[in-house]
Amino acid sequence: MTTEPRAVSIPMLKGGLGKSTVANALTDALARRGRETVLLDLDPEGHLSTGLGFPDRDGDGPDYRDVLFEGADPIELVSQTGFGFDLVPARNLEEVNRHLRREEVLRSDEQLRTHFVDPLLGETYDYVVMDLPGSRNKLTNNALVASRNVVLPVSPSAEAIHGVERTVAKLIGPLRQYMDVEILAVVPNGLRRRIDQDTVDRELLETINTSEAFAASLLAGRGADLEAGTLPDGESVSAVLDDHVPPFARITPEEWDRIDTGEREAPSVPIRHRSAFTRAYRERCPLSAYDPDCDQLEYFDELAAIVEAGGIEPTR
């Protein structure tokens, strides 16, 4: 694992799992660690851009079409947020997707990497972070090819785990036949409830910390049997989950047993819901600018360190 310039995307084929929240806070954390970072809002809904004070999704200024098809300098699309990192706001993205669909399939999936990320990464920026829509389109494919590193946010809901499994199976697994695509971390967020009781938080955390089927889903395209929910020979559930679940959210089966028997107090696992997230959005600023003392900021700093290292540092 090395600290080097890196692009990372936040894909999930389901909305409402915290993509924009994680993308915003991760970019902010990288910037606070002294890294030159730019955030690309590739979601046509523009939720992330709006939350940073750039709500115009249909402006007349330059957009990705000028860079991808006309040879414009990608720096022309970059806006300064005033918070220590830069932003390429969501602008005319539906039209950008229409242009990409008209291109040859292979060439169109390489456009963002060739014309945007490669010219900026390592020269102007240490990190490029991309927030993606909750559905598959040509920009989603472009972002995965351009980044080849992903962070998967997941929050307590009935379809959360299915969203992760579908995203890896449909987006990441097929690409792994042609290139390395690394899942740097699966990040639970929006947690509110106790985990020593039968709650949706418990269900989510227990699944991402103990389930072989979930571990197998993370190895889609690398020999896992997704239908059977089994890992390739030589892989263990604990090792795969150690590599993908951040230490702040990692709970081993032995620890679950101790929680259930009362031998250990149930931890308040991050990343927890805080009203400051919503209030920061309304104030059009990152969480750290709205509430620099928020107790959840340290975990985004840990996530930023994972991105810098290119994965979770092994502890075994």
Is the predicted pLDDT of residue 105 greater than 60, yes or no?
A: no
In whole angstroms, give the CA distance from residue 60 to residue 130.
22
Tokens at residue 296, please? 């959840």
Contact 113, 142 (CB under 8 A): yes
In whole angstroms, give the CA distance from residue 36 to residue 85.
7
**Strand ranges inside 76-193, DSSP E:** 79-80, 86-88, 127-131, 149-154, 182-188
pLDDT at 316: 46
Share of the chain above pLDDT 70, in %: 97
Token pair 């042609």 is at which residue?
Answer: 178
> How sure is the predictor about 1, in pLDDT bands with cuts at 50, 70 and 90?
low
Share of the chain above pLDDT 90, in %: 79
Is the predicted pLDDT of residue 104 greater than 80, yes or no?
A: no
Is the predicted pLDDT of residue 237 greater than 60, yes or no?
A: yes
Q: If you average pLDDT over residues 110-126, what whole number do you get?
A: 94
pLDDT at 314: 75
3-state secondary structure of 113: helix
HSE value, Cβ hemisphere, 13 Å, CA-based, for 91: 18
Q: If you average pLDDT over residues 3-23, what whole number do you get?
A: 89
Does 28 or 96 have the greater pLDDT score?
28
In whole angstroms, give the CA distance from residue 156 to residue 248.
17
pLDDT digits (tens, 9 = 90+) for 39-87: 999 999 999 999 999 987 776 778 898 998 889 999 999 999 999 999 9
N residues, the chain: 316
Q: How many CB atoms lie within 10 A of CB 314?
A: 9
Q: What domains can you pick out in the chain, each with its CATH number? A: 6-306 (3.40.50.300)
pLDDT at 106: 47
Q: If you average pLDDT over residues 116-132, what whole number do you get?
A: 96
Is the predicted pLDDT of residue 25 greater than 60, yes or no?
A: yes
Q: Residue 273: which residues within 8 A CB-CB, separation 6 or more?
A: 190, 191, 192
Of 122, 121, 244, 267, the C-alpha closest to 130 is: 121
Q: If you average pLDDT over residues 223-230, what whole number do you get?
A: 94
pLDDT at 59: 67
pLDDT digits (tens, 9 = 90+) for 246-300: 999 999 999 999 999 999 999 999 999 999 999 999 999 999 999 999 999 999 9
pLDDT at 103: 64
Contact 152, 167 (CB under 8 A): yes
pLDDT at 2: 61
Rg (CA), the chain: 19
